[in-house]
C-alpha cells in the first residue's frame, strides 16, 4: 500500500530516481492508500543530470509494484521487494524503457500501452 509521504523508486529512463508521493488520485479522501495500477501525484527528490526532468517538479506516477501482498483470483499471492513506479503524461510514459518486472494489475487500468515497452510481466 502506498500512502502520502511514501518514497517511490522510478524504474524508467526518464531521468528521475526517487519521488515523494503527496496526493493519491482517483479515490475519495476517505481512502488513504493506493496499490499497484493506481495513479499518484509526486515530486522528484533525486534525478540524473542532463535528462528530461529536474528536482521539485510535479508528475503523475503509475505504481507498477508494491511491497504489499497482492492476492489474485487463482489463489496466488505476490509480493515485491520495493515500491516502484513510472512517470506518465496523458496515458503515455515519459521514458521509453521500463527496467524490472511489472505486475499484471496494470492491465485493468487505461495504461495497457505501457505493457508493450516492458520485458517482464508477472
Q: Where are the domains of the chain?
A: 7-121
Grid look-up 501482498 returns 69
Report residues of the chain scoring pLDDT below 50: none
Length of the chain measured in residues: 122
Cα separation, 11 vs 99, whole angstroms: 5
Q: For position 118, what pLDDT does the model report?
A: 79
Q: For position 18, what pLDDT does the model report?
A: 96
Beta-carbon contacts of residue 30 (< 8 Å; ≥ 6 apart): none
Q: For position 45, what pLDDT does the model report?
A: 95
Q: For position 108, what pLDDT does the model report?
A: 66
CATH architecture of 7-121: Beta Barrel (2.40)
Q: For position 109, what pLDDT does the model report?
A: 63
Q: For position 105, what pLDDT does the model report?
A: 79
Q: For position 1, what pLDDT does the model report?
A: 84
Q: Are 15 and 48 in contact (CB under 8 A)?
A: yes
Amino acid at each position: 500500500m502506498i500512502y502520502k509521504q511514501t518514497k517511490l523508486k522510478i524504474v524508467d529512463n526518464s531521468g528521475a530516481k526517487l519521488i515523494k508521493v503527496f496526493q493519491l488520485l482517483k479515490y475519495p479522501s476517505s481512502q488513504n492508500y493506493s496499490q499497484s495500477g493506481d495513479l499518484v501525484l509526486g515530486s522528484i527528490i533525486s534525478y540524473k543530470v542532463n535528462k528530461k526532468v529536474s528536482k521539485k517538479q510535479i508528475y503523475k506516477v503509475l505504481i507498477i509494484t508494491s511491497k504489499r501482498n497482492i492476492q489474485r483470483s487463482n489463489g496466488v499471492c505476490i509480493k515485491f521487494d520495493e515500491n516502484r513506479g513510472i512517470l506518465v503524461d496523458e496515458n503515455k510514459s515519459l521514458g521509453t524503457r521500463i527496467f524490472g518486472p511489472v505486475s499484471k494489475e496494470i492491465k485493468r487500468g487505461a495504461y495497457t500501452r505501457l505493457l508493450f515497452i516492458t520485458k517482464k510481466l508477472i
